């Protein structure tokens, strides 16, 4: 049978190298120069379609032309989440070692689903999960976990596991509790899993944005009196809005007493366990049944890598194992973990590699120092704001998040007007493209929110952004 060489989808050795070097050069150049670029991108649907809309290309284009087009048109229309002036959402500071590790994992197209796909990849996932179990004082021997695409998938995996362990097949009477500050991915997971609205209790938070314990206890007691089954509580260790850590110790003892699964969503803040004060702040986290950590946030990994840890690895296997005839030859023996049995995905990227290589390269100490720095910088920003006659701190520096608003001393401005001004400050900052700074709502007020987890963000960056904000406020 005759085969056209191009139909093998191959490049020559020289072509691969030349193309690869160009890609590496572009990435390295971006890392070196990102600070000089604007972090904010824009582009309407119409503008983007004009750039990119085309019919499926039947014929080839030279690889370098495709790359040129992408570098010219795609990258500039992308927010730079690792930019020192990217303050919004949860930034993605990333690191070059992990970026290259991802390239290796993809380059060798390593199948991380089952043991026989790559015994080394499976073992590195076990080893790195064990590092994390130990960090959070989970039981290393009995415990387990899995890397996921992100925090949302980790939360979904956790809730599916909690339901299986606590409810078995019948979850018609099961009730789940979370606070009004819990991340929306938890509600999404609850919906995906098929819980009805009546099975979800959203508990109000107190003035500090923490789970209101009294209201929680009332809700649990009432549900029990109605013959329902309180089965799962989702606590946040680091809410996305304010960085607030729920009272984990107290929640853990309620859960223990009531036989409720405690899931801690630490996608934003659990990484603070590495900091000087984090262990104190996160006390009780070790009592969670399951914990979401999100290395592509505050553990400085590029997208995508999330992580779920559980106290007993058998819970995952008991929830996700299905016997499939086409997988029978790769089941292996008991000591060999098939991660497809521990989560939702079968075919998986080798996500553990980047975490492994970056921690080995920089050393955990560098991660600790970076997180300490982030927390201290946020505290300094708070001190700076409190000294100013222009700014009002709405939620103090908490795990590298601070919320504030423009509210000059001595001027009578209505709340509605203040909301409008702060909304406009953010809109103008975005329009200037110089900083990514958006608002959130806290207790009915529009506030500016900064999340300072980038170790390359300095006080000078923040000050220049505040000056920009003040300039817009005066306009």
Ligand X SMILES: *Cc1c(COP(=O)(O)O)cnc(C)c1O
How near is the Cβ of 169 to ligand X at its closest, in Å? 28
Q: 403 vs 186, 275, 428, 443, 449, CA distance in Å? A: 23, 21, 18, 12, 4
Tokens of 36: 């000089």
Question: In this structure, what DSSP letter does residue 139 have?
Answer: -
Task: With contacts defined by CB under 6 A, name the span among 94-102, 133-141, 262-270, 355-363 that binds ligand X.
Answer: 262-270
Contact with ligand X (CB under 6 A) among 85, 163, 183, 201: 183
How near is the Cβ of 230 to ligand X at its closest, in Å? 22
How near is the Cβ of 305 to ligand X at its closest, in Å? 9
Between 297 and 407, name the residue whose CB sits nearer to ligand X: 297
CA angle 93, 98, 103 (to 5 degrees): 125
Total residues contacting ligand X (rule CB under 6 A)? 14
Contact with ligand X (CB under 6 A) among 190, 235, 267, 310: 267
Element (H, E) at 364: helix 364-387
- Quickly tell me which residue has 């603070």 as its tokens: 272
How near is the Cβ of 18 to ligand X at its closest, in Å? 35
First to last CA, the chain: 73
Does the protein bind ligand X through residue 268 (CB under 6 A)?
yes
**Residue 443 near residue 452 (C-beta atoms within 8 A):** no
Does the protein bind ligand X through residue 185 (CB under 6 A)?
yes
Tokens of 306: 């999330």
Does the protein bind ligand X through residue 150 (CB under 6 A)?
yes
Does the protein bind ligand X through residue 240 (CB under 6 A)?
yes
Contact with ligand X (CB under 6 A) among 223, 246, 265, 286: 265
Task: With contacts defined by CB under 6 A, name the span among 34-42, 218-226, 263-271, 434-442 that binds ligand X.
Answer: 263-271
How near is the Cβ of 292 to ligand X at its closest, in Å? 7
Task: With contacts defined by CB under 6 A, name the span among 117-125, 146-154, 311-319, 423-431 that binds ligand X.
Answer: 146-154
How near is the Cβ of 55 to ligand X at its closest, in Å? 33
Left (φ > 0), alpha (ψ -120 to 50) or beta: where does 433 sit?
left
CA pair distance 247, 304, nearest whole angstrom: 29
Task: With contacts defined by CB under 6 A, name the span among 27-35, 117-125, 260-268, 431-439 that binds ligand X.
Answer: 260-268
Between 161 and 229, name the residue whose CB sits nearer to ligand X: 161
Residue 255: strand, helix, or coil: helix
| HSE-up of residue 362 (Cα within 13 Å, Cβ side) | 20
Per residue, the 3-state secondary structure of 268-303, as one string, reads: CCHHHHHCCCHHHHCCCHHHCCEEEECCCCCCCCCC
Between 285 and 425, name the residue whose CB sits nearer to ligand X: 285
Between 133 and 264, name the residue whose CB sits nearer to ligand X: 264
Contact with ligand X (CB under 6 A) among 294, 341, 345, 382: 294
- Quickly tell me which residue has 């975490």 as its tokens: 355
Contact with ligand X (CB under 6 A) among 152, 157, 241, 398: 152
Radius of gyration of the chain (CA): 24
Tokens of 412: 């009578």
Between 452 and 469, name the residue whose CB sits nearer to ligand X: 452
CA pair distance 193, 174, nearest whole angstrom: 12
The phi and psi torsions of 66 (rounded to 5 degrees) equal: -65, -45
Does the protein bind ligand X through residue 117 (CB under 6 A)?
no
How near is the Cβ of 158 to ligand X at its closest, in Å? 11
Does the protein bind ligand X through residue 244 (CB under 6 A)?
no
Angle between helix axes 248-258 and 213-225 (nearest 10 degrees) is 10
Strand-pair category, 401-406 with 391-398: antiparallel
71: which residues sit within 8 A by CB, 6+ positions away?
Answer: 26
Does the protein bind ligand X through residue 151 (CB under 6 A)?
yes
Residue nearest to ligand X (CB): 151
How near is the Cβ of 294 to ligand X at its closest, in Å? 5
Between 299 and 435, name the residue whose CB sits nearer to ligand X: 299
In the region spanning residues 75 to 114, those forming contacts with ligand X, defined by CB under 6 A, are: 90
How near is the Cβ of 185 to ligand X at its closest, in Å? 4
Cβ neighbours, 10 Å, residue 363: 11
CA angle 33, 382, 280 (to 5 degrees): 95
Tokens of 190: 């609850």
Does the protein bind ligand X through residue 291 (CB under 6 A)?
no
How near is the Cβ of 375 to ligand X at its closest, in Å? 16
* Residues near ligand X (CB under 6 A): 90, 150-152, 155, 183, 185, 236, 240, 265, 267-268, 294, 306
């Amino acid at each position: 049978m005759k085969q056209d060489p191009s139909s093998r989808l191959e490049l020559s050795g020289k072509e691969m190298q030349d193309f690869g070097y160009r890609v590496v050069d572009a990435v390295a150049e971006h890392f070196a120069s990102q600070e000089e670029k604007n972090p904010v991108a824009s582009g309407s649907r119409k503008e983007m379609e004009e750039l990119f809309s085309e019919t499926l290309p039947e014929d080839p284009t030279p690889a370098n032309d495709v790359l040129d087009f992408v570098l010219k048109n795609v990258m500039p229309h992308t927010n730079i989440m690792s930019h020192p002036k990217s303050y919004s959402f949860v930034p993605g500071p990333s690191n070059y070692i992990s970026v290259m590790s991802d390239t290796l994992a993809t380059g060798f197209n390593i199948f991380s689903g089952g043991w026989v796909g790559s015994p080394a990849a499976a073992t590195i996932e076990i080893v790195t999960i064990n590092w994390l179990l130990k960090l959070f004082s989970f039981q290393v021997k009995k415990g387990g976990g899995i890397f996921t695409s992100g925090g949302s998938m980790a939360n979904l995996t956790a809730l599916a596991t909690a339901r299986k362990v606590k409810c078995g097949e019948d979850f018609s009477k099961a009730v789940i509790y979370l606070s009004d500050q819990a991340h929306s991915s938890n509600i999404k997971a609850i919906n995906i899993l098929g819980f009805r609205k009546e099975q979800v209790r959203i508990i109000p938070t107190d003035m500090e944005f923490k789970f209101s314990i009294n209201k929680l206890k009332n809700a649990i007691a009432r549900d029990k009196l109605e013959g329902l089954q309180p089965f799962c509580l989702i606590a946040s260790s680091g809410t996305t809005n304010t960085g607030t850590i729920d009272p984990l110790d107290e929640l853990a003892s309620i859960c223990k007493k009531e036989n409720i699964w405690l899931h801690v969503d630490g996608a934003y803040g659990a990484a603070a366990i590495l900091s000087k004060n984090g262990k104190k702040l996160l006390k009780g986290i070790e009592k969670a049944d399951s914990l979401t950590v999100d290395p592509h946030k505050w553990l400085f990994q590029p997208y995508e890598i999330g992580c779920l840890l559980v106290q007993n690895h058998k819970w995952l296997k008991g929830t996700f194992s299905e016997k499939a005839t086409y997988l029978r030859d790769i089941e292996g023996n008991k000591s060999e973990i098939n991660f497809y049995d521990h989560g939702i995905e079968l075919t998986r990227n080798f996500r553990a590699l980047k975490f492994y290589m970056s921690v080995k390269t920089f050393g955990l100490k560098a991660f600790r120092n970076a997180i300490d720095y982030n927390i201290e910088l946020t505290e300094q920003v708070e001190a700076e704001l409190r000294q100013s006659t222009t700014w009002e701190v709405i939620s103090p520096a908490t795990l590298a998040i601070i919320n504030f608003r423009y509210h000059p001393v001595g001027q009578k401005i209505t709340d509605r007007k203040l909301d409008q001004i702060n909304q406009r400050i953010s809109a103008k900052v975005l329009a200037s493209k110089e900083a990514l700074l958006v608002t959130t709502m806290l207790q009915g007020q529009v506030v500016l929110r900064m999340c300072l987890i980038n170790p390359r963000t300095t006080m000078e960056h923040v000050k220049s952004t505040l000056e920009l904000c003040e300039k817009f406020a005066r306009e």
